[in-house]
Structure 1
Amino acid sequence: MICPHCETSLLRKERPGNRCGTCGRSYALDPKTNPLGLHDLRVRRIVARLTQDGRLPCTPGQLWYALARKSLRASQVDTGCAIVLGVLGAIALFIAAGSEVMAFGVGGGLLLLVALGFVVARVMGVGRGRPRLSRTDFRTGPLEEWKSVYGSLPPGVIDDSRYPSPHAGPAHDATGPAPATPSDRLVLVCPDRSVAVFLDAAGLTARHRLTLVADPAALPAAPGAGPVLVLHDADARGLLLARRVRLAQPGRPVVDVGLPLGAVHGLARAVPVRGEPPGPTVMARLRDSGEFSRDQLKWLAKGWGFPLVGVPPAKLLAVVSRAVERAGAAAETQRRRAADIGFMTWPREGG
């Protein structure tokens, strides 16, 4: 690997204890000792791409997906085992042919069958989509190792350990337009903490006086009864989130911002993640909705999905910003129309 400090190419024996044998400085990640094959230079390169060289924030969840994306494409079946077993099986058969010992022949045949099984599993993609390092393990593993060496997260990566609190919003200038009242205020339901922290750090919540909510059950406590935007993963449970909000908030405008399944399903560049298969109740609701094809339902039933953290930060911010602006414009139009007919006007004395 290349030393991130002096850029010397180092053999494994030349970097004991994650310390460069040339410059003597410590580094955080060694590709030979972590499941994702990470090293410091790669992390910095990916962070620069996600943040557009520092113009945008980035969260650990978004960084995790970007670093795990390559491994998600590959099967987790190791062909090295197949090669070793195949060689041992061939040797056993060769010995059996020369010595006519039945045990060597049987053992060699079994070894070759097992080796063939590994090859077939590899070709069929067994384990594909399963993260070799979970988001939680990424935080407690590579990110902690990075902080122990450099003292903080990689430059541009912000802490997402807490869900963002609602903003009070900017002070109102008496000469400018009136601020949104609680009934006008937009609410964005976003269960993914990393995405919520990213949108907040990017200025979306302060700019639009937007209230972020992690759990739809918390909506009654959210300010007012204005429009609700729903942001979710493109997996079996996430695709039902907007429906849950509509059922819980009858009569309240609910906008499904995405992630829409059709935008990622079947696309080569959209690398999905495979989790636990959803239960029969969830699948029944998806089928009853009539929104998904047979292939999509079969794909979802196997636990496949695409996470919000997999959407490039710049694209995610642009899409959500447009949705918030449209919802805000619609809410303002309705508010003005109601004011024009006197719905929100205090009655005059004697009127």
Structure 2
Amino acid sequence: MICPFCEKNLLYRERPNRTCSGCKRRFALDPKTNSLRMSDLRIRRLLQKRTDGGRLKISVKQLGAAALPRTVPGKSRSPVVEALGCLWVPLLTGIVVLIIGLNAEDAGGFAIFGGILVLIFIIGMFAAAMSGRRQRTTDPLSGFHSLLVNDWTAVYGSLPPGVVDDFPLGRVYVPEGARIALLCPDRGIAAFLVANEMADRYGVAVATEIDRLPEEMPVVVLHDVSAPGCRLVIRTREALPGRTVIDAGLPPRAVMATPGAPARRGAKPAADFIQWLGESGTLTKAELDWLAKGWTVSLVAVRPAKLLAAVTKTVERAAATTRTDPERRKAEAVGFFTWPDEAGR
């Protein structure tokens, strides 16, 4: 790796305890010791891109999402499938040897050897299945937050310039003259919107929980493309009867099989959950099938500049819903997000 201070190219043995053997200065991240292979210089490069050259502030989670490798919808292979590709040779060999051993005289050794190969296959498949289960239930960004909040701040004294931490639990941000409420359960995105003064500029009260929303204001719901995200809009309308509730999240159809959409496959929702979503009448069968496979697109994966522009547009339209009923119905029916093209526009 390159030292972030003196720019010397360092071998692993030349940077013990994350300290450059040339300039003797300690750096925060060593790509050999973290799963995302992050370094101080890579953090700075990602920041330059994601903050639009320093124009925006972003959250730790948004920066972490930029570091994750992308998964293409429909082309992801499960650990079990990958294990099958690696273990079919011992399986086939084991079956052949086992059959020979069982049908030949004095070939007990063949039978035992074949049985061992088959057992190796079974153990390998079981281990792959358990690994896949762990991957689906583990937040891929959980380690990145620790890298920045602990390792980076220990060396530099604070988060990188332009990076803000998550919105505090239970907090509601209510700027002077607030007239619209925004519900966003992702605390990283809530912090991003407040840090970039969108809430102050348009009089938007920001909350991460339904029961913390200010009363009487129209509500904009910002959520991930996921089964829980789609449920949030339905639950909000049930909890706030008579209130204008605008779905500002990406609809699944906006990202399904879309090149460049950073979809990830996690745990599959329960069948009765998907059925309940279908009964709401807000999703097509194709969207329900996509969600049932566990596909999601997180808000933190959307380019910050694109996200801020889309939320701003949504808030401007939400303000119009307070004036006329036809406008209100139109705003509630239209999704305000469109996925950026390959050029990022």
* Range class of TM-score, shorter chain: 0.7 to 0.9
Matched, 1:195 2:189: yes
Partners of 1:133 and 1:38 lie apart in 2 by 17
Please tell me whether the aligned partners of residues 18 and 30 of structure 1 are also in contact (alpha carbons under 8 angstroms).
Answer: yes
Alignment of 1:137 with 2:143, yes or no, is yes
CA contact (8 A) 2:62 2:300 kept: yes
Q: TM-score, normalised by structure 1?
A: 0.74
**Worse overlay, 255-264 or 311-320:** 255-264
Distance in structure 1 (CA, Å) of the matches to 2:302 and 2:60: 14
AA aligned opposite 1:207: R
2:247 matched residue in structure 1: 256
Distance in 2 of aligned mates of 1:208 and 1:142? 31
Residue aligned with 2:149, SS: helix
Letter of the 2:174 partner, please give it.
H
The answer for the alignment partner of 1:340 in structure 2 is none
Aligned-residue CA RMSD in angstroms?
3.7
| CA contact 2:137–2:266 (8 Å) conserved in 1 | no
* Residue of structure 1 equivalent to 2:205: 211
Q: Deviations over 1:261-286 (max 9, x none)?
A: 12222223112233333234421222
**Runs of 5+ in structure 2 lacking a partner?**
94-106, 326-345
Do 1:68 and 1:131's aligned partners in 2 also have CA atoms closer than 8 Å? no
**What residue identity is the alignment partner of 2:163?**
V
Q: Secondary structure at the match of 1:188?
A: strand
Q: What residue in structure 1 maps to residue 164 of structure 2?
A: 158
In structure 1, how many angstroms separate the alpha carbons of the residues matched to 2:60 and 2:138?
16
Contact 1:230/1:257 (<8 A) preserved? yes
Question: Which segment is superposed worse, 109-118 or 129-138?
Answer: 109-118
Match of 2:30?
Answer: 30
Q: What is the identity, as a one-letter code, of the residue corresponding to 2:217? A: G
CA contact (8 A) 2:71 2:263 kept: no
Checking the alignment, whether the CA contact within 8 Å between 1:66 and 1:310 is kept in structure 2 is yes
Deviation at 1:295, TM superposition (A): 4.0
**Which has more radius of gyration?**
1
Cα deviation code 1:47-84 (max 9, x no counterpart): 1111012100010111121112348997685989x989
Contact 1:85 1:111 in 2 (8 A): no
Q: Percent identity?
A: 39
1:167 is aligned to 2:174 = yes
**Which stretches of structure 1, 4 residues or more, deviate above 6 A after TM superposition?**
71-76, 82-87, 114-118
- In structure 1, the residue matched to 2:155 is 149
Q: Contact (CA 8 Å) 2:60, 2:148: kept in 1 or not?
A: no
In 1, Cα distance between equivalents of 2:26 and 2:193: 34
Kept in 2: contact 1:237–1:282 (CA 8 A): no
Q: Secondary structure at the match of 2:306?
A: helix
Q: Which amino acid aligns with 2:66?
A: A
Alignment of 1:218-237 (within 5 A): 218-219=212-213, 222-223=214-215, 225-237=216-228
SS at match of 2:227: coil
